């Protein structure tokens, strides 16, 4: 019998690989099935959004930032708008109704993002049916987006100073129908995974990171909370009135893939709790933006009938509005943890510099620590569990 | 801890450093740190009693060309223990755009500093892995600099031919065949 030849093998995983969530490339050194080293290579999706944004007027940046982290579009645009409002000093004037609607949309976006995560992650570790179920429920959320803005993935509904327009008729019914349906469906997903022997074997003790390492590598959001870091921007630095809502921040201590799963599923439940409270506070009709004619365009019916409104409309859409010189960074809790936009203005109608704090980039950086020493099959489970969105990593 | 107390405490830890607070509109007290004392100040911020800024939330830069000093490197810090935030900045001249790395203090600075080097051309002295992060490795220039053009028409660099010559390729195939035959 011939001797078995063994040598260390270098494998390129990605950039074209269905389980790397986009175009992440990993150069793995393998000894049999064990990963000896891993070096992530990123940048395949770099589209220069930050440079592009410097050429745009303030309100034109909103559709751009929604395309960065394409699974949490409304969180991105909300974070950007809040930073700009802080520079304008307009955030104190934002009506409570707008704040509650923003909270509602941000939480729906979190559920949406976590559903995509649960579906793809489940599929990658072998539970294919979970993906179909998750995308079925996500469809309802996309329908709500279509309802408010006519665009399912990137609604651009958040605007500096408030929202683009008032809520559509039937919005409350659609959200309530979703919130009534979702808890039962979430129980079904949990039935499929939480005590599933195969799923437990694939996830428990895999991709472990300690609490101290999570802080040192700037991990935030569900990954850090699964390792015991009790940090949620909504609780620690409340914004938009989150301090008046009743919700918990789920944490785990194991820091493995399974703990991240538990945290995210619990977060979906907490988000639904917030959504119900927000929905009760939102009236079907009311203020949807601050009353500042320099920032908020007038309603369309007034543009068609009044001279002043037409001028105002024309000025905002041709010249935009100016923002006082300065810098601001307002952190919010997105689906992947603290995110926000460091915004610098030079006092003109275009941003001087915007920088997105990208939680996925830092998660991607820590990936190496999570997979080295493990098995190649676990690499898939770990990439899924850190929930990287390459649009956010590369921008 | 307010900005004045913070500066006093830091000044005690690093007596030589120049610390200069500046007005801010968001919830981050902001101060400029002299370039040569960045790392000791960073260490004091992370380890100092009552400070504990253990989380580096953000590291980025901004280019204020044509003003001089043109660059500002920005660090956003979070103290999870004291629920406080802080922004420190370092001014850099365009002709002398380099600063010491803080990846020894906060390991996560590694990629963030690579990104700043990649897009702004600010060098980080002592960085463990000073390569580009987002742009292609053979890219010329630093795109987020204000004097870098927005649209560039250039022949593509990255579509280079195969890395081995035809002769080497044939040799590789032959070697593989031989090793298979031996088995």
Which residues on chain B are in Cβ contact (under 8 Å) with A355? 58, 60, 62
Exposed/middle/buried for B137, CB within 10 Å: 0-12, 13-18, 19+? exposed
Task: Return the minimum-mean-pLDDT range out of A29-43, A172-186, A234-248.
Answer: A29-43
pTM across the whole model: 0.88
Mean pLDDT of A245-257: 90
The answer to whether B55 touches A232, Cβ cutoff 8 Å, is no
Q: Give, to the nearest 10 degrees, the angle between helix B38-47 and helix B3-13.
A: 110
Confidence of residue A295 (pLDDT cuts 50, 70, 90): confident
Which ranges of chain B have pLDDT less than 50? none
d(CA A312, CA A289): 15
Residue A135 forms contact with B (CB below 8 Å): no
B18 shares contact with chain A (CB less than 8 Å): no
Contacts of A316 (CB under 8 A, 6+ apart): A59, A294, A295, A296, A297
**Is residue A250 helix, strand or coil?**
coil
| Closest by CA position to B103, among listed A218, A29, A368, A188 | A218
| Strand ranges in B49-164 using DSSP code E only, listed in sequence order | 55-63, 71-79, 84-92, 98-100, 123-125
pLDDT digits (tens, 9 = 90+) for A46-67: 888 888 888 888 988 999 999 8
- Which domains are delineated in chain B? 3-153 (3.30.460.80)
Name the minimum distance, in Å, from the CA of B164 to any CA of chain A: 18
- Chain B contact present for A326, CB below 8 A: yes
Tell which residue, A254, A220, A243, has the closest CA to residue A335: A220
* Predicted local distance difference test score (pLDDT) of residue B18: 78
Q: What's the rounded mean pLDDT across residues A311-320?
A: 87
A182: nearest Cα among A283, A267, A74, A281: A267
For residue B128, give both structure tokens.
Answer: 């463990």
- Name every residue whose Cβ is closer than 8 Å to that of residue A388 and which is 6 or more positions away in sequence: A21, A22, A24, A360, A363, A364, A367
pLDDT digits (tens, 9 = 90+) for A146-161: 999 888 889 889 989 8
Say yes or no to pLDDT of A300 above 90.
Answer: no
Residues of chain B contacting residue A82, judged by C-beta atoms under 8 Å apart: none
**Other residues' Cβ atoms within 10 Å of the Cβ of residue A45:** 17
Residue A271 in this model has a pLDDT that exceeds 60: yes
Say what the pLDDT of residue B152 is: 63
Rounded CA separation A82/A54 (Å): 18
Q: Computed from CA positions of residues A130, A24, A139, A276, in that sequence, does the dihedral angle turn out positive or negative?
A: positive
Question: Can you give A185-229 as a three-state secondary structure string?
Answer: HHHHHHHHHCCCHHHHHHHCCCCCCCHHHHHHCCCCHHHHHHCCC
Asked if A236 is an interface residue toward chain B (Cβ–Cβ < 8 A), one would say: yes
Do the Cβ atoms of A365 and B76 come within 8 Å?
Answer: no
Please state the rounded mean pLDDT for residues A290-301: 86
Cα torsion B96, B136, A339, A156: sign: positive
Task: Please state the φ and ψ torsions of residue A306, each to the nearest 5 degrees.
Answer: -120, 140
The stretch A22-48 carries a mean pLDDT of: 85
Neighbour tally for A317: CB within 10 Å: 12
Tokens read off for B169: 């390729």
* pLDDT at B174 (0 to 100): 82
What band does A18 get if pLDDT is binned at 50, 70 and 90? Answer: low
Tell me whether residues A352 and B150 touch, CB distance under 8 A.
no
β-pairing, B55-63 vs A158-159, is: unpaired
Domains of chain A: 11-394 (1.10.645.10)
pLDDT confidence bin for A1, thresholds 50/70/90? low
Note the pLDDT of residue A7: 80
Distance between CA atoms of residues A242 and A277, nearest Å: 11
Chain A residues within an 8 Å CB radius of B28: 329
Residues of B in contact with A216 (CB under 8 A): 54, 106-108
Contact call for B135 and A43, based on CB within 8 A: yes
Each residue of A338-383: pLDDT tens digit? 999 999 998 888 899 999 998 999 998 888 888 888 888 888 888 8
Cβ <8 Å between A231 and B143: no
- Binning pLDDT at 50, 70 and 90, where does residue A193 land? confident
Any long-range contacts for B29-33 (C-beta under 8 Å, 24+ apart)?
A: B29/B2, B29/B3, B29/B85, B29/B86, B29/B87, B30/B86, B30/B87, B30/B88, B30/B89, B31/B3, B31/B6, B31/B7, B31/B86, B31/B87, B31/B88, B31/B89, B32/B88, B32/B89, B32/B90, B32/B91, B33/B88, B33/B89, B33/B90
Question: What is the DSSP secondary-structure string of A333-354?
Answer: EETTEEEEEEEEE-SSSSEEEE
B3 vs A: CB within 8 A: no
| A365–B contact, CB cutoff 8 A | yes
Would you state the pLDDT for residue B59?
Answer: 92
Residue-level pLDDT at A34: 86
Residue corresponding to tokens 């996560």:
B108
Residues from chain B contacting residue A344 (CB–CB below 8 Å): 62
pLDDT of residue A146: 92
Rounded average pLDDT over A244-269: 91
| Beta carbons of B118 and B96 less than 8 angstroms apart | no
In contact, A73 and A67? CB cutoff 8 Å: yes
> B135, B114 in Cβ contact below 8 A?
no
* Residues in chain A closer than 8 A to B115 (CB atoms): 361
Confidence of residue A244 (pLDDT cuts 50, 70, 90): very high
Asked if A89 is an interface residue toward chain B (Cβ–Cβ < 8 A), one would say yes
């Amino acid at each position: 019998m011939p001797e078995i030849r063994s040598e260390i093998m270098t494998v390129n995983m990605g950039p074209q690989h269905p389980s790397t969530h986009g175009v992440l490339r990993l150069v793995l050194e393998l000894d049999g099935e064990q990963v000896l080293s891993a070096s992530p290579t990123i940048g395949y999706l770099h589209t220069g959004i930050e440079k592009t944004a410097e050429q745009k007027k303030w309100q034109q940046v909103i559709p751009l930032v929604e395309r960065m982290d394409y699974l949490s579009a409304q969180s991105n645009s909300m974070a950007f708008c809040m930073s700009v409002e802080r520079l304008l000093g307009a955030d104190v004037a934002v009506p409570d109704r707008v704040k509650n609607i923003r909270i509602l949309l941000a939480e729906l976006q979190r559920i949406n993002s976590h559903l995509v995560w649960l579906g793809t992650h489940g599929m990658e570790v072998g539970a294919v049916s979970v993906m179909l179920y998750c995308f079925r429920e996500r469809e309802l959320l996309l329908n709500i987006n279509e309802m408010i803005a006519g665009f399912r993935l990137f609604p651009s509904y958040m605007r500096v100073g408030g929202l683009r327009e008032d809520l559509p008729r039937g919005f409350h019914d659609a959200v309530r129908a979703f919130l009534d349906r979702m808890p039962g469906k979430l129980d079904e997903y949990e039935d499929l995974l939480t005590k599933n022997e195969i799923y437990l074997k694939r996830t428990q003790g895999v991709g472990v990171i300690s609490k101290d390492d999570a802080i040192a590598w700037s991990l935030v959001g569900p990954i850090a909370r699964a390792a015991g870091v009790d940090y949620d921007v909504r609780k620690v630095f409340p914004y938009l009135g989150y301090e008046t809502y009743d919700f918990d921040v789920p944490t785990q201590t194991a820091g493995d893939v399974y703990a991240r799963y538990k945290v995210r599923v619990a977060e979906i439940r907490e988000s639904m709790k917030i959504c119900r409270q927000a929905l009760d506070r939102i009236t079907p009709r009311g203020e949807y933006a601050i009353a500042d004619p320099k920032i908020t365009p007038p309603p369309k019916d007034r543009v068609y009938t009044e001279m002043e409104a037409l001028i105002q409309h024309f000025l905002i859409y041709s010249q935009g509005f100016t923002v006082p010189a300065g810098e601001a960074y307002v952190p919010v809790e997105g689906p992947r943890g603290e995110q926000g936009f460091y915004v610098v203005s030079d006092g003109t109608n275009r941003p001087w510099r915007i920088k997105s704090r990208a939680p996925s980039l830092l998660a991607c950086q820590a990936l190496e620590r999570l997979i080295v020493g493990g098995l190649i099959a676990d690499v898939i489970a770990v990439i899924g569990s850190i929930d990287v969105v390459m649009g956010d990593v590369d921008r | 801890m307010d900005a004045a107390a913070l500066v006093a405490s830091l000044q005690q830890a690093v007596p030589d450093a120049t610390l200069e607070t500046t007005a801010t509109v968001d919830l981050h007290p902001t101060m400029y740190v002299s370039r040569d004392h960045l790392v000791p100040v960073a260490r004091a911020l992370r380890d100092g009693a009552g400070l504990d800024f253990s989380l580096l939330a953000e590291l980025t830069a901004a280019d204020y060309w044509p003003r001089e000093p043109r660059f500002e490197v920005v660090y956003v810090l979070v103290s999870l223990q004291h629920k406080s935030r802080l922004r420190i900045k370092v001014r850099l001249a365009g002709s002398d755009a380099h600063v010491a790395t803080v990846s020894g203090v906060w390991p996560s600075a590694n990629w963030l500093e690579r990104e700043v080097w990649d897009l702004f051309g600010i060098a980080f002295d002592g960085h463990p892995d000073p390569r580009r992060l987002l742009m292609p490795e053979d890219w010329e220039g630093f795109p987020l600099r204000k004097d870098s053009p927005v649209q560039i028409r250039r022949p593509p660099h990255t579509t280079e031919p195969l890395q081995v010559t035809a002769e080497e390729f044939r040799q590789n195939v032959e070697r593989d065949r031989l090793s298979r035959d031996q088995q």
